[in-house]
Amino acid sequence: MSATNKTKSWQLGNTSVRSPFRLRDGLIALSASPLQGDLRGKEQEEAWRNLLGEAKIVALGTDKTFSVGRKWRSALEKLGFLYPEVPKGLNQNELGQLDTITPNGWRLIRADTVPAMQECFLRALAAYHTPSPQEKKYQFAPFSPLKHTLRVMLALDEKVNDTKLTLNEMALIVQVSTSANSISAIVEKIIDLRQRKEGSGNKRKFESAERKAAAENLGLEDATLTDYADLNFRYLKATGLFLTKGKGIALAPEKYVFIQRLVQDENIPTFDLDYYRALCEGARLPTDDKDSALIVLHDLAAQLKKRGIQYDLSSKDLTTPHDIGIVRHALEELISHDNEAKFAKDQATKLDEITAYIDLILSQRDKKVLSDGETIEVPKSERPAYLEWILWRSFLAINQLQNKPYESRRFKIDQDFLPVSCAPGGGPDMVFEFDELTLVVEVTLTSSSRQEAAEGEPVRRHVAAYAEKSTKPVFGLFVAISIDSNTAHTFRFGDWYLADDSKKSLDIVPITLLDFRNFLIAGTKKLNEMPNRLRQLLIECRAKANQEAPQWKNSISAIVKQSNEKMKV
């Protein structure tokens, strides 16, 4: 790479906002606030930071400089979700009011499915080029990091029949290259790195030495390259075009044809108003063109057919790109459901990983290295979502559900089956249908008396809604790190009056996350017995509900331990 093209490693997004989907939460909070369009200056940055904190999007902490507010504003403007400040010589009024939500920002706010959110990020990253006039530290010709990475991975596929790109390869090669570099030369560097790694005596030591040497050459801290690579992976995956593969990423197979069309656009922006409009409105995509949309659609139909899923296109209205998009989204959903069914079936073999995630939440640590060397992570800001997600995976592992995996959860997941957000209000977190019972599951990280105030009424209402219409016994399972006695007291005799004033008795059992973990581990080798064991455990726990709340909590823990001992026999 020539000196004129040297970069200290480009990065997508902002290291202060590691989860791109959190940007949507910030936009939603801002959209209902008088701060929109007024985010600059000490007082406004403090108010913006406080708004994010009150919405539980960030931890308030002791940030005396209010840098959190500035970094969030920068991250949103960088991707065109807020109108950025235009360079000198351009008219701000011709673009939009500074720091207000853009058309693509409103599109992200209104997106109510993960694919819809991913399309917003895709349009943002497809429009984004670096360096922009605001990024003065970079000295190379503008290019699209998204399309550059896609071209490298497509070329890798041609060379080695695999699109996978590892974290180290992103850190050491891809993110320190630009469109000025030959794609074939970048691929050769990746292959050379792999060969040298294979020939090394200690692969982990080899990778560490390579990172250290590269960081020193670029004048960066040793961990910075990996930190940027991890960030780039997160934002790239937010587009829906990539999925996790081992310790790296690969192209999503169902998006391959779309990707080939996307990278054909090699236009380089001049950073005039047209560029900023495209950034703020979202880039045009191949599927916005009818001919390309039809090609992508028929490829998806062919993929479904290979999976044994028939879909008749002949009766569908395919007149406009919008019409085609409606059908395309339906096909993508079928593929997603099929992938999720396979994921669910595999969970019975993932109990060690599942319990490791539970241990992370219990210990409030961020990361843990598994016995196979894989590192798992629970981001602090996403712990509530991960708690729901890992309970969902726990019940999938039992592998005897009567409802579909995607019907059993109310929270959203991405293409890697990772949680995007918590379950919305207005219903339970999860519902699992077994042969002999319906289980309504609610989870929380809330503790102390706030727990009863936040969960007492909604949990009873949600359980009652299913008890009213179910032909099977309905149990509520409430899982928390610790159970407040006021919460337990509320659930002891959780009667609920229906709309006709008739009273419905509710069977709700509060259980600690640790007790649930131990129950799951005890049944690892007898998963086929777990539904019956669970039903018996719930019945026994409810039989003790006439005790005072503190005693009942102790009785529930004792019953769980007794059940676990029986499972060992």
Number of other CB atoms surrounding residue 143 within 10 Å: 20
Give me the chain's average pLDDT, please: 92
pLDDT (0 to 100) of residue 362: 96
Q: Quick one: pLDDT band at residue 2, thresholds 50, 70, 90?
A: very low
Checking if the pLDDT of 305 tops 90, the result is: yes
- Kindly state the tokens that stand for 8: 């200290």
More confident residue, 358 or 140: 358
- The β-bridge relationship of strands 438-444 and 430-433 is antiparallel
Query: Is the CB of residue 527 less than 8 Å from the CB of residue 496?
Result: no
Query: Is the CB of residue 193 less than 8 Å from the CB of residue 169?
Result: yes
For 2-22, give one letter per residue: b (16+ CB within 10 A) or e. eeeeebbbbbbbbeebbbbbb
In whole angstroms, give the CA distance from residue 69 to residue 39: 8
Domains of the chain: 143-267 (1.10.10.2090), 287-339 (no CATH), 350-568 (3.40.91.50)
In whole angstroms, give the CA distance from residue 563 to residue 552: 16
Query: Is the CB of residue 421 less than 8 Å from the CB of residue 457?
Result: no
The Cα angle at residue 152 between residues 170 and 129, in degrees rounded to 5: 80
Position 429, amino acid: D
Tell me: cis bond preceding 131? Omega within 30 of 0 counts.
yes
pTM of the predicted protein model: 0.91
Number of other CB atoms surrounding residue 181 within 10 Å: 20
Residue 354 Cα distances to 399, 405, 418, angstroms: 14, 16, 13
What confidence tens digit (pLDDT) does each residue in 452-470 have? Answer: 999 999 999 999 999 999 9
Query: Is the CB of residue 463 less than 8 Å from the CB of residue 476?
Result: yes
In whole angstroms, give the CA distance from residue 240 to residue 114: 9
Which sign does the torsion angle of CA 548, 551, 552, 553 carry?
Answer: positive
- Phi then psi for residue 378, to 5 deg, are -125, 100
Q: Is 400 exposed, middle or buried (0-12, 13-18, 19+ CB in 10 A)?
A: middle
Checking if the pLDDT of 308 tops 50, the result is: yes
User: Looking at the DSSP assignment, which residues form a beta bridge with residue 439?
Assistant: 432, 475
Q: Quick one: pLDDT band at residue 432, thresholds 50, 70, 90?
A: very high
Checking if the pLDDT of 66 tops 80, the result is: no
More confident residue, 374 or 76: 76
Q: Quick one: pLDDT band at residue 131, thresholds 50, 70, 90?
A: confident
pLDDT (0 to 100) of residue 272: 86
- Kindly state the tokens that stand for 59: 């931890």
DSSP string, 73-142: HHHHHHTTSBPPPPPTTS-HHHH--TTSBPHHHHHHHH--SHHHHHHHHHHHHHH--BS-TT-TT--S--
Computed on alpha carbons and rounded to an integer, the radius of gyration of the chain in Å comes to 26
- DSSP-assigned letter for residue 175: G
In whole angstroms, give the CA distance from residue 290 to residue 454: 49
Query: Mapping DSSP to helix (H, G, I), strand (E, B) and coil, where does residue 538 land?
Result: helix
Query: Mapping DSSP to helix (H, G, I), strand (E, B) and coil, where does residue 446 land?
Result: coil
Q: Which helix (H) or strand (E) holds 388?
A: helix 383-398
Provide, rounded to the nearest whole percent, the portion of the chain with pLDDT above 90: 77
- Kindly state the tokens that stand for 507: 């069977």
pLDDT (0 to 100) of residue 144: 94
Number of other CB atoms surrounding residue 202 within 10 Å: 9
What confidence tens digit (pLDDT) does each residue in 178-237 have? Answer: 999 999 999 999 999 999 999 998 888 998 999 999 988 888 888 889 999 999 999 999
The Cα angle at residue 534 between residues 532 and 536, in degrees rounded to 5: 70
pLDDT (0 to 100) of residue 5: 40
pLDDT (0 to 100) of residue 132: 77
- DSSP-assigned letter for residue 220: -
Position 490, amino acid: T
User: Looking at the DSSP assignment, which residues form a beta bridge with residue 431?
Assistant: 440
